[in-house]
Structure 1
Amino acid sequence: MSISLYHATVPTFLQITGAVSGLLDRAEAFCAEKGLDPSELIEARLAPDMRPFAFQVRWVAMHGFGAIESVRNGGFVPDMTPPPSDFAGLRARLADAIRGLETVGYSELDAYIGKPVTITLRDGALTFDAEDYLLSFAQPNFFFHATTVYDILRWKGLEIGKRNFLGKLRFAED
């Protein structure tokens, strides 16, 4: 059995982006329940040299649907503008990513196999084949940022577990 590039990326991007959106809902409810200013979570970071929660959420969207757009365009330039500063803005960013991922055609990504994707960073550029970009750069970054979102919320006291991170699982009958 073979697996397509679509199946290796898009369904998981959708699953985890949806789970992160659910984590935002829980985070907002936690703030209301505890009387916390939402900025206490939105601006939280695990270490002084790490980006804050809002940045992590935005980069889940950027390394999910944004990665697909990068493959389509042949390039990726990180969006370093400030992320949304409230739950509604973060939720909208994830909803846009989910809508975009839902438009990706099953065979579309396989058509990009072997095509170059260049990442432009402040200290240079890296060029990958589309499949190597998605599987060795975008997907690991996507999981790093999604995990960091989860970790910040756990650290701040939210009662969440692995099931919250995993989101809606896919089964043979789906």
Structure 2
Amino acid sequence: MTVSLSHIFKNSTAQAFRGLTTVLQKAKAEAEATEASEEAYLSARLYPDMNDMKWQVQMISEFALRGAARMSGVSADDLPSLPMEGETFDVLIERVADCAAKVEAAEDAVIDGNADMKITMPIGPEQTMELDGKTYILSFYLPNLFFHVTTAYNLLRMQGVPVGKRDYMGM
């Protein structure tokens, strides 16, 4: 049995986003139950120089959307861009759902056919990285996906939101 690149890409993203949605829903419920401000949860940081929780969700949802576009052959100049907005759990949950649906809609055959395609990405001021499609998904996309979803989970857990590994796993 062979596992396709599209299967890895789409199923990993879907599972990560199910987990992210679950922890966001539980955080919203916790804020309501304790009458805490959503902003307190959404603005949490692990360290002062790190981005806050809402940025983690905003960034990874756009990253997934752009990943699907890259693997579908969209040129760097035409990649979709989402505004960095979402000041409530409801808006962030909807954003994740919208991006998950767009990733799922990407054509499997196109993604699989682009395993050897060269992808050039910016990685800093006047710096780029070139990867083939397979390496992009396995060594760049997936680690970034799980890093930011894990960071969002940890930020909420740190604030006492009652979430656990099963929630994170999206199972």
- Spell out, residue by residue over 1:50-76, the C-alpha distance to the aligned partner (whole angstroms, 9 max, x if none): 110011112221332331112221438
**How many Å apart are 1:81 and its aligned residue?**
4.9
Name 2:20's counterpart in structure 1: 20
**How many Å apart are 1:91 and its aligned residue?**
1.3
2:120 is the alignment partner of 1:140: no
| Poorly superposed stretches of 4+, deviation over 4 Å | 76-81
2:154 is the alignment partner of 1:151: yes
Structure 1 pair 95/50, CA: closer, same or farther in 2 (3 Å)?
same
Determine if contact 2:58/2:84 at 8 Å carries over to the other structure: no
- Spell out, residue by residue over 1:73-129, the C-alpha distance to the aligned partner (whole angstroms, 9 max, x if none): 143879695331211221121011111122123322111111111112442111111
Aligned AA for 1:152?
L
> Identity, % of aligned pairs?
27
Structure 1 pair 91/80, CA: closer, same or farther in 2 (3 Å)?
closer
Q: Secondary structure at the match of 1:56?
A: helix
Alignment of structure 1 residues 110-129 onto 2, 5 Å = 110-123=112-125, 124-129=127-132
- Structure 1: state its 5+ residue gaps: 169-174
Q: Secondary structure at the match of 1:50?
A: coil
TM-score (normalizing by structure 1): 0.88
Distance (whole Å) between structure 2 residues aligned to residue 9 and residue 28 of structure 1: 28
Distance (whole Å) between structure 1 residues aligned to residue 106 and residue 165 of structure 2: 28
Determine if contact 2:60/2:148 at 8 Å carries over to the other structure: yes
Q: Secondary structure at the match of 2:119?
A: strand
Determine if contact 2:66/2:81 at 8 Å carries over to the other structure: no
Please identify which structure carries the higher helix content.
Answer: 2
Find 1:164's aligned residue among 153, 162, 167: 167
Name 2:91's counterpart in structure 1: 89
Which one is further off, 128-137 or 146-155? 128-137
2:61 is the alignment partner of 1:53: no
Alignment of structure 1 residues 3-18 onto 2, 5 Å = 3-18=3-18
Which one is further off, 143-152 or 83-92? 83-92
Alignment root-mean-square deviation, CA: 2.0
Aligned AA for 2:88?
D
Name 2:108's counterpart in structure 1: 106
Which one is further off, 17-26 or 55-64? 55-64
TM-score (normalizing by structure 2): 0.89
